Copies of this chain bind each other. A is one copy, B any other.
Amino acid sequence: MTTTAHLATDPATPAVRVQPGIPFRLADIDPSNTEPFSRHKKKLLERQRELRKQLSDYQVNLHAEHRRSLLLVFQAMDTGGKDGTIRVLLTGVNPAGIEVAAFKQPSAEELDHDFLWRIHQHTPGKGRIGVFNRSHYEDVLITRVHGLIQPITWQQHYQDIINFEQLLTRSGTRVIKFFLYISKEEQAKRLQARLDDPKKRWKFEPADLKERSLWDSYQVAYQEALAATSTLDSPWYIIPANSKRARDLAIAEIVVAALADMNPQPPAATFDVAAQVIK
């Protein structure tokens, strides 16, 4: 039996932080929730600008410090808003300090290795912000829903993922994971919009409808994977994402709060500054 009582909602956002190892039901979370954000569009946009400036400043210090890094993982159902979220979040941040990796259908070479092999190659180096558009979590979601793996395999994958993210954490990479959570009705609207708008039609594929027919299986797979792999060091946030504005603001708040906690600082000079003479 599950209740929402244990679901931690971040006081400043509509986001839900998943408690390590505690089962929950996605159905208990409202994907249209925008509380406690004000309804005043102007205030939200103002706050978004503030956060963007802070994110940009933190990135400069993270780069100068050259000691730690930040990895943001984004997962969602089709039309959940991964591309848009990443674009809005990173607008105004120096692209040289950022690496966005989009993980598609694995290549033959990638399939020849363990499921974390291709992921590991894209983890951010010191001083950098890495962003994953889809990720290693596809290997406990799509593969599971399509019956390509057995329960024992996804259980082992959970442990492999926890171990892998622990490795990253120990080497100075802060890992934060976002599930952009939309309703099935919202997806219907967005898919229809893609079909109706010739400029968006390229984003639509008939295969999307097959995935949509597996909606309930995906919800179960997400529920379980998030509960199994959310840790204190590397938490999962469920972002109510029917409202794009609330979604973007919630993510910006969480990312900036994490950077504030990391508090990167430019290093002190390692040489005698007074002794340097520029002729």
Contact = CB atoms under 8 A, between A and B. Distances in A.
Contacts of A160: 163, 166-167, 170
A167 B126 contact: no
Nearest to A112: B125
A117 B116 CA distance: 11
A114 B66 CA distance: 14
A240 interface: no
A123 B127 contact: no
Contact of A156 (B114, B117, B170): B170
Each complex incorporates copies of this chain amounting to 2
Most B C-beta atoms less than 10 A away, residue of A113, A164, A171: A113
A168 to B, nearest CB: 6
A167 B164 contact: yes
A125 B113 CA distance: 5
Interface in A73-132: 109, 111-117, 120-121, 123, 125-128
A168 B125 CA distance: 23
A152 to B, nearest CB: 10
Nearest to A162: B163
A116 B120 contact: yes
A173 interface: yes
Nearest to A109: B125
Contacts of A113: 123, 125-126, 171
8 contacts: A112-B127, A112-B128, A113-B126, A113-B171, A114-B171, A115-B171, A163-B164, A163-B167
